[in-house]
Structure 1
């Protein structure tokens, strides 16, 4: 199977994936995105245009933030888009994007991590790799790539007890 387009847009919004440990307070904070380091570590040959929209915990995400994300998707000159996002409200953002008629000609895949990349033993790189591949191969639509699975935006939920994403009925 051949990818749709050799270029891909990567939109950064924050979430656990990009958090770092603040040594003096012990808090998880944002300092910068870790996506360039993750892409270097993966030795990707894919042409990725990375754009940082915000570095936010998804619990602080607002409708205005979702509008900004939708506009960035619409403005992207690529058909394939990956969005890094916090897992707590990832489904909300995916649903909002899937309801936007201006995005029907794009393949948008949201992904994140349950543990920060910088802390090690993280699912961040695995989920990012899955999302990058899915954005190139899936049909147009909005998806979530987590836990080695690709879910349609309207058929997924985060199971907080298990710490995974699951298919909804």
Structure 2
């Protein structure tokens, strides 16, 4: 049940999952899966990363990625391979897509136009993730655990209890 258009493959499951996605787990080759805020437009997901935006190491220079979309309760709906392309600020696609992506961003400082201008000035990357090939996982559940060990973090020390001048009595 896939409609092949070039090398872009689409299934009803992927199409519906894309339409409703607000967050996607994106894994570039040799990298961990990262939860990234995204906007579904034109049969693809658009992700903004860079200074002042979300961190997505390796996504701006990648050509392929693995995208997992989860449901409202955290369960995986579908995992599919995606072709990654960077949308350049001088392109026609940027002019039509960047304002739409900026308009969907929650808690945005300033207007959508100001945000798009800041993305250009700061060198942020607007990446397009288009599904290609056959979904890797969908209806079938994995046999084993997909849990990964925790990543290294600078938060390794327990904080001290706050200082109190006097003892508080409870009645």
Q: Which TM-score bucket, shorter chain as reference? A: under 0.3
TM-score (norm 2): 0.24
Larger radius of gyration: 2
Structure (1 or 2) with the greater helix fraction: 1
TM-score (norm 1): 0.24
